[in-house]
């Protein structure tokens, strides 16, 4: 039976870091545009209350350029179930959509994708981790999100579900990355390594994890893959939990081999990066800010630059945008980011949207690079 699920009591999924002990604290090299006070560009998708916490959304824009889905959890890393659809590019949203009842049995940071199988058929998938067996689960739709299958275990243990999935091998295969516990770390709540898996059937089954980023002194997690403009390279952006900077590594053979991880520019110091290309070729990356000298640390921000800037120095990039203000410190920033046909970016996150007793909401904000460029230019004029 499919029902629109009501919120159960709030549940947690482990510690959330409250400081960035070794983040770069020098003068911040990039200008920042502040859009966070402009409520006219913001849309509350799911409002929190004193008794309800809306957490950890991701979004998916369909090929028509206007239908969008948003999936999230009840509570911090809590049970899945909430799913809404927008038919106008995120300006308005449906009520909770019906989903199978066993979605409630699976928890933690669901991610939503539109994935091709080897024959070119596309399906929608929601991945979430973990289910009752501690493994990542999937639910899929054969009809563009009108109905969904029950959640099903994939038999792979995880911390997060797939954070990023890209087609490789001419679209016949899928490459998925996430973070898992380092083998033998036992009860270390910060234990994380980045691992990859391959699907040859469009997302239904996945190979055993292969660890691709591991350093005993670091805690790599929550990867995101950015293809180079020419399609010959993938750069993996990674959160790192212990030192307040972020990291990158690259592959030029679709994940067969990876370079040694190196720090990202300080403008990208943050957690849970999600990136999209603008029509002019620039790259927009949204995340939770952890750069101590930025003036926006703990808030939901965007970095604007180019692909080559990912391997640049600390001044690499054009500027940053403060998107939304967090009234709960670092507890924000797991995002979705979509680009509409008119050049509007729609960035969505969970955040304590207002001071007071209300808990976190799922909120989106909208912007274009053209307006952000103008604001930066005006601010730089004497």
Place of tokens 């004193």: 50
Residue with tokens 């973990």: 130
**Could you tell me the pTM of the whole model?**
0.93
- The model's pLDDT over 27-83, given as tens digits with 9 standing for 90+, comes to 799 999 999 999 999 999 999 999 999 999 999 999 999 999 999 999 999 999 999
| Residue 102: band (very low, low, confident or very high) from pLDDT cuts 50, 70, 90 | very high
Euclidean distance between the first and the last CA atom of the chain, given in angstroms as a whole number: 64
pLDDT surpassing 80 at residue 20: no
Helices (H) and strands (E) in the chain, counts: 1, 26
Q: Decide if pLDDT at 240 tops 80.
A: yes
- Residues 227 and 308: their CA atoms lie apart, in Å, by 11
What is the span of the domain harbouring residue 258? 25-380
Q: What pLDDT, in 10s, does the model give residues 276-310?
A: 999 999 999 999 999 999 999 999 999 999 999 99
Confidence tier at 243 by pLDDT (50, 70, 90): confident
Model confidence at 6: pLDDT above 90: no
Domain count, the chain: 1
Q: Is residue 242 part of a domain?
A: yes
Q: What per-residue confidence (pLDDT) applies to 189?
A: 66
Asked if residue 14 is part of any domain, the answer here is no
213 is a domain residue:
yes
CA angle 302, 17, 15 (to 5 degrees): 125
**Residue 80 belongs to some domain of the structure:** yes
Q: Is residue 37 part of a domain?
A: yes
Q: What is the pLDDT of residues 122-134, one digit of tens each?
A: 999 999 999 999 9
Q: What is the CATH number of the domain that holds 62?
A: 2.120.10.10
The share of the chain scoring above pLDDT 90, in percent, equals 87
**The pLDDT of residue 170:** 94
| 16 assigned to some structural domain | no
DSSP class of 378: H
Q: Is residue 363 part of a domain?
A: yes
Residue 371 in domain: yes
């Amino acid at each position: 039976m499919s029902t629109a699920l009501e919120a159960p009591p709030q549940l947690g999924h482990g510690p959330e870091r409250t400081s960035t002990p070794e983040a770069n604290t020098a003068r911040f090299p990039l200008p920042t545009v502040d859009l966070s006070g402009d409520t006219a560009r913001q849309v509350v998708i799911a409002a929190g209350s004193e008794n309800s916490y809306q957490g950890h959304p991701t979004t998916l824009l369909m090929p028509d350029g206007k239908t969008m889905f948003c999936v999230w959890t009840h509570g911090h890393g809590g049970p899945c179930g909430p799913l809404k659809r927008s038919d106008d590019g995120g300006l308005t949203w449906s009520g909770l959509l019906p989903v199978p009842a066993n979605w409630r049995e699976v928890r933690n940071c669901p991610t939503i994708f539109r994935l091709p199988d080897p024959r070119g058929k596309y399906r929608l998938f929601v991945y979430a981790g973990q289910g009752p067996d501690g493994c990542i689960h999937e639910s899929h739709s054969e009809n563009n999100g009108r109905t969904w299958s029950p959640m099903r275990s994939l038999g792979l243990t995880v911390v997060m579900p797939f954070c990023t999935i890209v087609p490789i091998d001419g679209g016949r295969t899928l490459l998925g990355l996430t973070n898992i516990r380092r083998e033998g770390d036992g009860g270390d709540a910060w234990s994380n390594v980045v691992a990859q898996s391959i699907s040859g059937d469009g997302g239904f089954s996945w190979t055993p994890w292969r660890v691709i980023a591991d350093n005993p002194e670091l805690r790599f997690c929550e990867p995101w893959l950015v293809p180079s403009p020419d399609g010959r390279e993938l750069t993996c952006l990674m959160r790192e939990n212990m030192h307040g900077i972020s990291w990158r590594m690259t592959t030029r053979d679709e994940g067969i081999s990876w370079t040694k991880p190196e720090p990202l520019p300080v403008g990208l110091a943050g957690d849970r990066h999600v990136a999209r290309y603008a029509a002019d070729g620039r790259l927009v990356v949204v995340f939770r800010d952890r750069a101590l000298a930025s003036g926006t640390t703990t808030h939901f921000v965007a970095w604007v630059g180019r692909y080559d800037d990912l391997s640049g120095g600390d001044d690499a990039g054009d500027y940053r945008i403060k998107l939304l203000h967090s009234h709960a410190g670092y507890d924000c920033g797991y995002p979705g980011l979509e680009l509409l046909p008119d050049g509007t970016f729609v960035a969505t996150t969970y955040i304590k949207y207002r001071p007071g007793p209300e808990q976190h909401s799922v909120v989106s904000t909208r912007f274009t690079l053209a307006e952000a460029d103008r604001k930066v230019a005006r601010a730089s004029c004497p």
